[in-house]
């Protein structure tokens, strides 16, 4: 099952080494034979014992010695030894749940110091940052400049936004846990002077309901008990997920500039879809965040965040 149909790089090198050693052994055998014959002739010439009956036996012994040198020099067992070693490596890697189908893969990996891989085929640091935020127009944010979230957004918008980012998810920064998208949202809150743990302690309690992200729904949801003036108020459901999925369910839009809910028209939806497509063309990952007052108010907040793996900017979309 591990037989190869083509010569691997290691086998090519071994063949080159074996050929070189064989040539060296052949030259050495010829030289040994010549030296022995010359010594034989000199000894016989000095002693004048040309008629000795042992001379043919000595010559045959010289030839045997030369052949022995040649046979010892040729590494016939080297390819077999290397193949057995690689096969042993394949078996050892199999015990580590690493299936190697071809021996030359073991040869290659044996010379690797670092292995970089990514399921999408792109190599990244596996670190994501919030880069853009869209709400009627495009906003950009520098991830390295700290600020205050409350100074950047109107009061109600600010309250809903920090709830959606901090409470609708299970990621943490210390220790680092959760999807890189959620971690990027928490880092954005932290850079804007908001403690996500404090927000969670304020809004998450025994009555809160969480629906984790699933590939079928393509979104996650949380139902929180809203607090106004220190007293429990209406419940609010936050949704975060794939932009096109969440957008399809939205009927109203929370305006950033006016800090109020307005109806979402077909033209507005089309504009948002175009913005999502433009961001996707820039290799940005887009998500949509929405909310609904469970009491019956159909007001929806729509935020479109886009991410990439290097810079941190900020889009605001309504």
Contact 317, 135 (CB under 8 A): yes
Dihedral sign of CA atoms 284, 145, 188, 120 in order = positive
Decide if 259 is catalytic. Answer: no
Question: What is the distance in angstroms between the CA of the first residue and the CA of the last residue of the chain?
Answer: 59
Dihedral sign of CA atoms 285, 219, 195, 295 in order = positive
Which pair of structure tokens corresponds to residue 63?
A: 């030839």
Going by C-beta distance under 8 Å and a sequence separation of 6 or more, which residues neighbour residue 237? 221, 222, 223, 224, 291, 292, 293, 294
The span from the CA of 15 to the CA of 103, in Å, is 16
The span from the CA of 173 to the CA of 192, in Å, is 15
* DSSP state at residue 297: -
Which pair of structure tokens corresponds to residue 195?
A: 């403690």
Which pair of structure tokens corresponds to residue 254?
A: 């929370």
Active-site choice (51, 118, 151, 195): 118
* DSSP state at residue 177: B
Q: Find where tokens 């009956």 sit.
A: 53
- So which residues are the catalytic ones? 118
């Amino acid at each position: 099952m591990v037989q190869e149909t083509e010569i691997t790089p290691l086998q090519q090198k071994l063949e080159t080494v074996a050929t070189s050693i064989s040539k060296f052994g052949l030259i050495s055998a010829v030289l040994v034979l010549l030296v022995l014959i010359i010594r034989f002739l000199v000894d016989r010439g000095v002693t004048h014992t040309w008629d000795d009956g042992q001379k043919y036996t000595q010559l045959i012994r010289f030839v045997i010695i030369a052949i022995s040198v040649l046979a010892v020099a040729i590494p016939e067992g080297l390819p077999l030894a290397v193949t057995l070693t690689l096969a042993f490596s394949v078996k050892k890697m199999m015990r580590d749940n690493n299936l190697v189908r071809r021996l030359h893969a073991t040869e290659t990996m044996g010379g690797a110091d670092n292995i970089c891989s990514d399921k999408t085929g792109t190599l990244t640091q596996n670190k994501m940052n919030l880069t853009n935020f869209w709400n009627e127009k495009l906003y950009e944010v520098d991830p390295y400049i700290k600020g205050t979230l409350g100074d950047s957004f109107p009061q109600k918008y600010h309250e809903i936004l920090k709830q959606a980012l901090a409470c609708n998810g299970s990621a943490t920064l210390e220790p680092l846990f959760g999807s890189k998208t959620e971690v990027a949202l928490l880092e954005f809150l932290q850079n804007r002077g908001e403690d996500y743990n404090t927000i969670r302690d304020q809004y998450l309690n025994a009555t809160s309901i969480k629906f984790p992200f699933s590939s079928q729904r393509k979104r996650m949801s949380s139902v929180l008990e809203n607090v106004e003036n220190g007293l429990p108020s209406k419940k609010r459901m936050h949704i975060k997920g794939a932009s096109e999925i969440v957008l399809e369910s939205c009927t109203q839009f929370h305006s950033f500039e006016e800090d109020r809910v307005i109806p979402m028209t077909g033209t507005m939806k089309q504009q948002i879809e175009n913005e999502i497509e433009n961001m996707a063309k820039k290799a940005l990952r887009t998500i949509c965040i929405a909310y609904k007052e469970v009491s019956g108010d159909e007001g929806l907040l729509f935020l479109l965040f886009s991410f990439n793996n290097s810079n941190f900017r900020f889009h605001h979309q309504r």
